[in-house]
Structure 1
Amino acid sequence: MLSHVRQCRSLRSPVKFLTLSPLTSFIFSEPSASAAKFAVDDEPTTIDSLSNPVDIVCEIITGVKTFGPVKFLEGQWFRTLVQSLNQPQVDQIVDVLRIESPDSAVLFFDRLKSEYGFRHSRVSHLLIAHVLAGRRRCKELRSALEQMLQQEGTGSAPSLCELLWISFRDWDSNGVVWDMLAFSYSRLDMVHDALFVLAKMKDLNLRASIQTYNSLLYNLRHTDIMWDVYNAIKVNGIPQSEYTNSILINGLCKQSLIQEAVAFLCETEGKESKPCVVSFNTLMSGFCKMGFVDVAKSFFCMMFKHGLLPDVYSYNILIHALCIAGSMEEALEFTSDMEEHGVVPDVVTFNILAKGFRVLGMMSGAWKILHEMLRRGLNPDIVTYTILICGHCQTGNIEEGFKLQEEMLSRGLNLNSISYSVLLSSLCKRGLVNEALSLLCKIENIGLKPDLATYSILIHGLCKQGDVQRAIELYKEMFSKRILPNAYAHCSILLGLCEKGTISEAKMFFDTLTEIDLIKDIVLYNIMIYRYAKLGNIEAAVKLYKQIIEKEISPSVITFNSLIYGFCKSRKLVEARRWLDTIEAHGLVPSAVTYTTLMNAFCEEGNIHAMFELLREMESRAVEPTHVTYTVVIKGLCKQQKLQESVQLLEHMYAKGISPDEITYNTVIQCFCKARDLKKAFQLHNEMLLHNLQPSPVTYNVLINGLCVYGFLKDADRLFSSLQDQNIRLTKVAYTTLIKAHCVKGDVDKAMVLFRQMVENGFDITIRDYSAVINRLCRRCLINEAKKFLHLMLSTGISLDREICSVTLNAFNEGGDHNSVYELLAAMIKCGLFPE
């Protein structure tokens, strides 16, 4: 104790202190750090009231030696004294303690950092690193160095290496510290710094460990530099571990150099090291990711030939690949095989199988896997539940998804963001956006923070439901939480504003995104261009296109399709046709939509020749026509009364494997109805059914109208009744067509029955519907029948208008029904319609 006090007294003289440590000159040459501030229980003591800096160092060292490090460092005296310590003083204390009491030095170093937040210097870190290295406390050594490197940052290797060389070159365990420094740099992904340290070690004849080389090799496995590291291992004669070759094989697989990986395994087999399970696993994984499961299985068999037993990871690789390929039976066979070879399936194995069944939509199989897990005493983890929740939500059984959520909570497991995102997405898809918002509150209440995916799903759901205002509120909330919305959220809001708002609101939002430079691609521009084109504002659409070119954003085919559609809608077909050349000028190929849009526009204009010219150009460029393209061509043929050719084109579509839709058939059926060939029209209807194509309400509207127009009213009634018996939903047009036909025939009772059915089925009945019937009845002088419909109209709360009053007054006057005239005049006055 007396010798220690004398030593502390010698610290009062910087010259004498030089004899204590080879580091002293370096310490005193550093600029003195400002004193750190620490939180203490009592009033802080001022620096003036304390001993001078050298006395403080001596007193702390004496206190540690006298009372022991734990008791002294927890004492109130040290808590007060520590406020005035700076980095050079701490360096001195650590340097003295590491000689006399290494454990005390480590404890003092850790306590200052953990309890008082003291920022240690490089010197203290390296002093403690040498203490830990000398005592073979490798885990703590790595932790101390990693803390220092995180503090120093990238590019710090040259100055740290200089410090190690100048001040620590002759110290014991110096080689260990150098090696761990390179390893720590590599672990923190500071690869260039790690390479610098290794280069310095080579100059100093210090040898790095295989663990350091393996770590660096792993970090560089995506690059060709990994070969330089591998060659350095061989040149320096460093014994390889079983993972060295596996890391290099993994790197080759990552670079899609599978053949080179196989060649490397064959080349090193039996020479440098015996192939290990990890190497085979790496190759199997590489082949499976490329879809070559059979090749992976051959390597699996080779493991047995080399006397190696596959581990659970080996089996999981193959089982996963087989599940992805949909070969669940073979995957289950491998699961049985692994048990026969003494390898026990783990939770990962069962999760892979459960996911395989989920992908195939076989949730019963997934549940069997869960029950097997429980039978074996394995606890389902968060991945297991996430798989089951995703499966049930994707099959529409969201209720089961929420039951699983409750079961997870009962087992002490909280859902992850993926599970919640799936539940939120399922609720939004079913239109249950309010319930999704309630779930968002629950997520926040259990401490989970909503992420970008969560907000994007909700914003999309709200916009799809038409509640754009609430979506914008969530959008603003994202910014307040420093979550930057992605293109998906932007698109949802812009589409919502276009659909439910006004074009001016959409433009304001779009302009805001443009001003703050959040539009990086063409998608949002395409939305606005299409909206302008749909509204017929082709000038605004072209203006946006010019902005795209100015900003050097590459337009897409969709951009040009929207512009062509806009010009076609404005009937500027010559300009629309010119945009085909512009598409090619941008190195793009016109799509089927491009040609179909133009063809339809020329067809509508009656320019069938131009339409067929475009079709020939389309085929010459190997652009495959779609069923919509053929529908447009059929419409053109029908306009030319080429009905037989339109039917032949239908057959040609089936021959090419293109299925016509109901619109295609409706086009042809309508043409045959107009041509009075109702027999062929109904044959086409039956053909639809043979091809499992359900006729649409429009199909039946066309057929019923055809029967009515050409006097087959009884057949129209039979068809109508048959459709009602089959619970086929009919439109209002079908009812009004029959009602008008019965009015013309004078069968008012039947017309009244149909009219009442139309009202009972919830169709929106307007004054135009009543007017159409009453006008026909009046023209046929069916005054009493017209009065019935007039009374029915008034009883449903629909007010009179001048048109219907004028027609009925004339009919009543001509029929001499003066009482009805007076009644109608009174009703008009009551409705505020004063006779002229």
Structure 2
Amino acid sequence: MENGKVKPDVVTFNTMIKGYCKSGNVKKAIERFRDMEVRNVEPDKITFLTLMQACYSEGDYDFCVKLYNEMQDKGLDIPSHAYSLVIGGLCKEGKSMEGYAVFENMVTEGCEPNVAIYTALIDAYAKNGELDMAMGLFHRIQNEGFEPDEVTYGVIVNSLCKSGRLEEALQWFEYCKRNNVAMNVVLYSSLIDGLGKAGRLEEAEKLFEEMVEKQCPRDSYCYNVLIDALAKNGKVDEALVVFKKMEDEEHRNEEALKLWDLMIDKGITPTAASCRALATGLCLSGKVARACKILDELAPMGIVLETAFEDMMNVLCKAGRIAEACKLADGVIDRGREIPGRVRTIMINSLRKAGNADLAMKLMHSKIGIGYHRMRSVKKRVKFRTLVES
């Protein structure tokens, strides 16, 4: 008791801090955290982890590190999730050495790292021009029995290309093909750029066409690096052909939509494959709402595509169309077509597979999709679009 009143304990403060974090008021959460010291209430690892997640989502990586240091000073058990946040934040700021120091401390404390942590460090070292360190960590993953994923290989191939080590990049690219590693847009676009800069235009064009065979959507970056390489090597006419192809892909969706409407008017039931192809094409051309409308119209025809939305989100993320993917995710939840938690999981996995680990981590540690905010008496779900708006 305190002056006849119940004294708040760590559970009380944790509840308040979590509430402030969920409502987006991290400043107030930090104030309550500092109040704990004044009231002689010791924070626990839940207190620290809640604040670290909120600060990471806000982009305040410095405070994440401060909280981590406080945990160490207090002798608290640091969970693997906290290490991930600190290492991820340091890597995003380009502080590869500091991130590696936390990583080594993590290993020393008996906390096993994962592929995502290794990949973040590899990417940070490579962007700092320390490719030997990056490659050393890459080989360490393999030696310790971890299986690198397509995101890791994407970072390696991109880094090797940018450092002029094109042959090594090609070797790892072929390794991915032989070992059934998912081929994402980062792997292809990095090599197209590298080959183009090296004047190896025929190989670059071959990979560009191969993306269609492998059902890997070509984004604007792929088109632009190939157009740039052709133009700089005096092949202006060929560059214009590629540019026209980029425009044609947009117009092709309009023609497909007219054909679709004609089929429906004549009472022809479309196949699942044609539905999927059209929905995906519309998404890539920015017509997400129209794609969703088409899928909604399929139910009365007895056509149910179990993974349609998942496929659409995957292809949008692979093409770097994150804003459209978020719009689609919001639409799925608003229509009540999927459980919000499942949509979040799909989106996180899609971002990771597309090589966008930073946004995947940001989504993972946010309240997007499953949290709520209040505007007076109205409770509204936090939209996926805030992922790219904030």
Question: Shorter-chain TM-score: which interval?
Answer: 0.5 to 0.7
Q: 1:375 to 1:396 in 2, by over 3 A?
A: closer
Residue matched to 1:578: 241
Residue matched to 1:425: 88
Paired residues of 2:16 and 2:29 also in contact (CA < 8 A) = no
**Match status 1:569 vs 2:232:** yes
The alpha-carbon deviation at position 424 of structure 1 amounts to 1.7
The alpha-carbon deviation at position 542 of structure 1 amounts to 0.7
> 2:194 aligned to 500, 508, 531, which one?
531
CA distance in 2, matches of 1:548, 1:436: 35
**Match status 1:455 vs 2:118:** yes
> 2:221 aligned to 535, 538, 558, which one?
558
**Match status 1:513 vs 2:189:** no
CA distance in 1, matches of 2:177, 2:53: 37
Paired residues of 2:227 and 2:240 also in contact (CA < 8 A) = yes
The alpha-carbon deviation at position 575 of structure 1 amounts to 2.1
Once the two structures are superposed, what CA deviation does each residue of 1:514-559 show, in whole Å capped at 9, x if it has no partner?
A: 2222143232101111222233332111111233233343333332
Residue matched to 2:317: none
Residue matched to 1:349: 15
Q: 1:529 to 1:521 in 2, by over 3 A?
A: same
Give the total of aligned pairs. 247
Residue matched to 2:154: 491
Q: 1:353 to 1:589 in 2, by over 3 A?
A: farther
Q: 1:422 to 1:541 in 2, by over 3 A?
A: same
Q: 1:549 to 1:429 in 2, by over 3 A?
A: closer
The alpha-carbon deviation at position 371 of structure 1 amounts to 3.6
The amino acid of 2:113's aligned partner reads P
> 1:478 aligned to 138, 141, 151, which one?
141
Q: 1:397 to 1:577 in 2, by over 3 A?
A: closer
The alpha-carbon deviation at position 372 of structure 1 amounts to 4.2
In structure 2, the residue corresponding to 1:407 is in which secondary structure?
Answer: helix
Larger RCO, structure (CA 8 Å, separation 6 or more): 2
The amino acid of 1:572's aligned partner reads K
Q: 1:392 to 1:535 in 2, by over 3 A?
A: same
CA distance in 1, matches of 2:103, 2:169: 27
CA distance in 2, matches of 1:544, 1:576: 16
Once the two structures are superposed, what CA deviation does each residue of 1:380-403 show, in whole Å capped at 9, x if it has no partner?
A: 3323212434566766663x5444
Query: Percent same amino acid among aligned pairs?
Result: 25
The amino acid of 1:417's aligned partner reads S
In structure 1, the residue corresponding to 2:78 is in which secondary structure?
Answer: coil
Residue matched to 2:166: 503
| Aligned counterparts, 1:301-320, within 5 A | none
The amino acid of 1:438's aligned partner reads A
CA distance in 1, matches of 2:74, 2:17: 17
The amino acid of 2:131's aligned partner reads V
The alpha-carbon deviation at position 442 of structure 1 amounts to 0.9
CA distance in 1, matches of 2:95, 2:216: 38
Residue matched to 1:819: none
TM score, norm. by length of structure 1: 0.27
| Aligned counterparts, 1:637-786, within 5 A | none
Paired residues of 1:354 and 1:369 also in contact (CA < 8 A) = no
Consecutive unaligned residues of structure 1, counting only runs of 5 or more, are: 1-338, 591-620, 623-836
The alpha-carbon deviation at position 444 of structure 1 amounts to 0.9
In structure 2, the residue corresponding to 1:577 is in which secondary structure?
Answer: helix
CA distance in 2, matches of 1:493, 1:444: 23
CA distance in 2, matches of 1:381, 1:581: 60
CA distance in 2, matches of 1:589, 1:435: 50
Q: 1:402 to 1:572 in 2, by over 3 A?
A: closer
The alpha-carbon deviation at position 428 of structure 1 amounts to 2.9
Residue matched to 2:260: none
The alpha-carbon deviation at position 460 of structure 1 amounts to 0.8
The alpha-carbon deviation at position 485 of structure 1 amounts to 1.9
CA distance in 2, matches of 1:491, 1:567: 24
Paired residues of 1:424 and 1:436 also in contact (CA < 8 A) = yes
CA distance in 1, matches of 2:41, 2:154: 44
CA distance in 2, matches of 1:406, 1:488: 30
Paired residues of 2:189 and 2:222 also in contact (CA < 8 A) = yes
In structure 1, the residue corresponding to 2:184 is in which secondary structure?
Answer: coil
CA distance in 1, matches of 2:139, 2:151: 15
The amino acid of 2:97's aligned partner reads N
| Aligned counterparts, 1:20-31, within 5 A | none
Paired residues of 1:428 and 1:436 also in contact (CA < 8 A) = yes
Residue matched to 1:543: 206
In structure 1, the residue corresponding to 2:139 is in which secondary structure?
Answer: helix
The alpha-carbon deviation at position 378 of structure 1 amounts to 6.1
In structure 2, the residue corresponding to 1:501 is in which secondary structure?
Answer: coil
Q: 1:588 to 1:465 in 2, by over 3 A?
A: farther
Paired residues of 1:353 and 1:369 also in contact (CA < 8 A) = no
Paired residues of 2:55 and 2:64 also in contact (CA < 8 A) = yes
CA distance in 2, matches of 1:456, 1:588: 38
TM score, norm. by length of structure 2: 0.54
Residue matched to 2:107: 444
CA distance in 2, matches of 1:588, 1:504: 37
> 1:407 aligned to 70, 80, 93, which one?
70
CA distance in 1, matches of 2:59, 2:219: 34
The alpha-carbon deviation at position 496 of structure 1 amounts to 1.5
Q: 1:480 to 1:588 in 2, by over 3 A?
A: farther
| Aligned counterparts, 1:329-340, within 5 A | none
Paired residues of 1:354 and 1:367 also in contact (CA < 8 A) = no
Consecutive unaligned residues of structure 2, counting only runs of 5 or more, are: 254-284, 287-390
Paired residues of 1:583 and 1:589 also in contact (CA < 8 A) = no
CA distance in 2, matches of 1:565, 1:540: 15
CA distance in 2, matches of 1:349, 1:583: 52
The alpha-carbon deviation at position 459 of structure 1 amounts to 0.7
Residue matched to 1:381: 44
Once the two structures are superposed, what CA deviation does each residue of 1:268-300 show, in whole Å capped at 9, x if it has no partner?
A: xxxxxxxxxxxxxxxxxxxxxxxxxxxxxxxxx
| Aligned counterparts, 1:274-293, within 5 A | none
Aligned-residue Cα RMSD (Å) equals: 3.6
Paired residues of 1:536 and 1:566 also in contact (CA < 8 A) = yes
Paired residues of 2:48 and 2:67 also in contact (CA < 8 A) = yes
In structure 2, the residue corresponding to 1:558 is in which secondary structure?
Answer: helix
Once the two structures are superposed, what CA deviation does each residue of 1:143-194 show, in whole Å capped at 9, x if it has no partner?
A: xxxxxxxxxxxxxxxxxxxxxxxxxxxxxxxxxxxxxxxxxxxxxxxxxxxx
In structure 2, the residue corresponding to 1:456 is in which secondary structure?
Answer: helix
Of structures 1 and 2, the larger Rg is shown by 1
Paired residues of 1:354 and 1:387 also in contact (CA < 8 A) = no
Paired residues of 1:421 and 1:457 also in contact (CA < 8 A) = no
The alpha-carbon deviation at position 450 of structure 1 amounts to 0.7
In structure 1, the residue corresponding to 2:229 is in which secondary structure?
Answer: helix
Once the two structures are superposed, what CA deviation does each residue of 1:623-653 show, in whole Å capped at 9, x if it has no partner?
A: xxxxxxxxxxxxxxxxxxxxxxxxxxxxxxx
CA distance in 2, matches of 1:494, 1:587: 29
